[in-house]
Amino acid sequence: MLHLFNSLTRKKEPFVSISPGKIGIYVCGITVYDHCHIGHARSMVSFDVIVRYLRSQGYDVKYVRNITDIDDKIIARAHERAIPIDDLTAQYIAAMNEDTKALNILPPDVEPRATEHIESIIRLIERLLEKGNAYLSDNGDVCYQVDSFADYGKLSHKDLEGLVAGARVEVVKEKRSPLDFVLWKKAKQGEPSWPSPWGEGRPGWHIECSAMAMGELGEQFDIHGGGLDLQFPHHENEIAQSEAATEKPFANYWLHVGMLQVNNEKMSKSLGNFYTIADVLAKHHPEVVRYFLLSSHYRSSLNYSEENLLNSRKALARLYQALKDSQVIPDGEMDNHWISEFNQAMNDDFNTPVALSVLFQLSHEINKSRSVILANTLKYLAGIMGILQEDPASFLQSGFAEEDKTEIEELIAERLQARADKNWGRADQIRADLLKRGIELEDGPNGTTWRKME
């Protein structure tokens, strides 16, 4: 049975969906004012595998991942570049789609945008005002009154009194408490706005996700996810406003992806260790990056380094090598023992490191037996992880420019001719020269193949 670590209860729990056989998942997506970074990739890949696995178990999954296309950062960046906001967000949505496609991240079933849900956001704010959980401040903003929700802090396990005492929030006299947050911002000169019962304005960040999640999945759904950095205050505020409005639990299970560090430091532009997904993919094969992101449990922290990427390539090459000389039959017979071992790992809160270890055990058996059934099984299980999707020879030869590949093939042809002419010295010299360049030759009954040494 599937067990999930629920951030709300801080314990691992059996998973039971609201509707048998169906699962609704909402994951906080990208604020599109810049290129996605490698930390974003970790969250997106983690939930991609979670959704793939749940579907492999027969669940009908509705996966919703939003786009925040209006907020302070977007407005500031568009102003800085002197371009319309829609042009800015379109540019970065297109870049995000390129990144996710390269990393073999399946698109969500629904990808709502905040600007498309203004009406539902306004209705939700109206409910909060009617119930006394929100108020119209003197400056025209609508604010949520945090102390009106008795359970505030239950997700992040923070004490409300302690939060107020230690609030490092700029005091805004229009707020009743420094913890109160804005649901609707009164329009400012030169900023985009929409009509509302409280005048022209735009939504605050937190209310956007509540409205989009409930609009797509209902007032109560199964799983809400996102990065650990969103747990407080964003997810805490989502719970407060949603449950105050509906008087129902918002999401039954909360999953949070651990933080990604770079060389054991927090990723930061000021430290010069900030990497976009495009930066990383310019140097590393997409499947290597994906494997690296899955090599640690999604809840744990993960350290990005060139050494760890290199080790990920070596590990992935071992799996590809097992498939290289094996026949794989699409939809062919598979070995239920290995599927069961894989499922056992994934049923334990989506433990991808253990699941990957099952793939390595399976590859070891394939290397010994060249079993078609085992090869079919490895290909299928790796597909749930979104890896081993390339032709093995192509992956094992990746990392070389096309002109280099052409030269390598010409040298292999020359070596074959030298061997045919019994010119063993020249044949050995070519092998040795290629070896120095990190290229390993493999002679077999079907000729000579080559691969990059790992």
d(CA 24, CA 443): 52
- Name, in order, each residue with C-beta under 8 angstroms of 307's C-beta and a sequence gap of 6 or more: none
Helix (H, G, I), strand (E, B) or coil at 197: coil
Of 300, 302, 285, whose CA–CA distance to 387 is shortest?
285
Q: How far is CA 167 from CA 159, 180, 235, in A?
A: 12, 11, 18
Q: Are strands 260-262 and 265-266 parallel, antiparallel or unpaired?
A: antiparallel
Return the number of other C-beta atoms located less than 10 Å from residue 173's C-beta: 8
d(CA 132, CA 139): 19
Both tokens of 4, joined, read 């999930």
Both tokens of 296, joined, read 């640690």
Work out the angle at residue 186's Cα, subtended by the Cα atoms of residues 185 and 189, and round it to the nearest 5 degrees. 120
Of 138, 88, 81, whose CA–CA distance to 115 is shortest?
88
Q: How far is CA 98 from CA 74, 103, 110, 385, in A?
A: 20, 9, 18, 19
Residue 209 annotated in ligand binding = yes
- CA 132 from chain centre, in angstroms, equals 37
Helix (H, G, I), strand (E, B) or coil at 65: strand
Both tokens of 235, joined, read 């997810």
- Name, in order, each residue with C-beta under 8 angstroms of 10's C-beta and a sequence gap of 6 or more: 157
Sequence length of the chain is 454
Residue 28 annotated in ligand binding = yes
Question: What single DSSP character describes residue 231?
Answer: I
* 350 and 298 Cβ atoms separated by less than 8 Å: yes
Helix axes 72-81, 85-102, angle to 10 degrees: 110
Residue with tokens 């985009």: 192
Q: Are strands 142-144 and 260-262 parallel, antiparallel or unpaired?
A: unpaired
Q: How far is CA 261 from CA 105, 190, 273, 295, in A?
A: 22, 37, 9, 14
* 154 and 143 Cβ atoms separated by less than 8 Å: no
- Name, in order, each residue with C-beta under 8 angstroms of 95's C-beta and a sequence gap of 6 or more: 35, 36, 278
CA dihedral 431, 433, 438, 440 (to 10 degrees): 0
Residue 11 annotated in ligand binding = no
Binding residues: 28, 209, 234, 238, 269
Binding residues for ATP: 269
Binding residues for Zn(2+): 28, 209, 234, 238
